[in-house]
Amino acid sequence: MFDKRSKIFSDLCLTKGEIAIYTLLAKHRPLKCDEIAKSLCESRAKVFRILKVLETAGMVEKTIQKPARFVVVPLESILDLFIKRKQQEASLLEESRKTARDLWTNLAQNKNYVDLDRFAVIEGRKSIYPKMLQIIEKTKTELLVLICDNSFSKNNWLQLNESLRKKISKSEFVAKIICSSEQKNHFSKQIVSSRRKGQIKETFLESDLNLNCRYIVSDTKEALIFTKVAESQFLYNNFESCFWTNNESIIAILKTLFEKLWLNADFDQSNFFLRKIGYSDNSI
């Protein structure tokens, strides 16, 4: 419960002091500023500043009696407002994207651009996984996914599965996925069932190969390569890094490695997994 509550407050971008005051008011009757300061052993001036911030954000309300007391707005109502605000921001961003695209089209007219080799370092999950999902969305013919390290979490698998499921429903493309045998349980039934149409093909590598790497190649045009992160840094800082490139030579090497692994992978394990969740070999 504590972890879930912390996650919600983190999503709302609340500070430690704001969380403390909101939680205190949620547990007690309406309190005066002095009473809150006394309960938290904080100065009245600091508590008053935080209350003003929470009031502006619509998270607490002030009574009309003197001296004023403060009450919390239910968390559900706050989340509803937060979601609507984010949806409005997304709508505005979509409009900005269309405007920017039109502007770029006008700027780029009658210019011969050379598609130069490019590299970009991307750090932090909040930047990496939206980029990964964007690459999947842009894929037209073939997506190669190699995941042979344990740092790819269950939540990451859910994002990958959901993104592939949406892509399959809208486009005729093929995704080949190689992962370690330890990760086979992360495939959803919806994804594996797409083997019937030949759109999703997956196989598993024995863990004793010690192939500790992860990358994605899209249409032999771009690749996202994850770098190895120290276990302590990954666990405690939730930190990841990778680099994106459109360099043909690097992409060719990654694709060659993928195809070699694909030919030598353990398809018997893959078929066993399919039978285990209810798909026979004849249905594929």
Return d(Cα 192, Cα 175) in angstroms, integer. 11
188 pLDDT higher than 90: no
Structure tokens at 247: 């360099």
Task: Examine the pLDDT at 120 and tell me if it is beyond 50.
Answer: yes
Written out in words, the top-level CATH class of the domain with range 2-74 is: mainly alpha
Determine the pLDDT at residue 229.
Answer: 62
User: What are the boundaries of each domain within the chain?
Assistant: 2-74, 119-283
User: Which segment of 139-153, 191-205, 250-264 scores lowest on mean pLDDT?
Assistant: 191-205
Six token digits for residue 58 = 């619509």
Q: Which position has the higher pLDDT, 236 or 205? A: 205
Per-residue confidence (pLDDT) for residue 138, from 0 to 100: 87
Please give the pLDDT value at position 261: 84
Spatial distance between the Cα atoms of 224 and 143, rounded to a whole number of angstroms: 11
User: What is the CA angle 6-11-12, rounded to 5?
Assistant: 100
pLDDT band at 3 (very low <50, low <70, confident <90, very high): low
Helices and strands, counts by H and E, the chain:
11, 10
- How confident is the model at residue 222, as a pLDDT? 94
Whole-prediction pTM: 0.56
E strand or H helix that includes residue 4: helix 2-11
- For domain 119-283, which CATH number applies: 3.40.50.12780, 3.30.70.260, 3.30.870.10, 3.90.180.10? 3.30.870.10
Weakest mean pLDDT among 34-38, 221-225, 227-231, 243-247: 227-231
The larger pLDDT score, comparing residue 85 to residue 142, is at 142
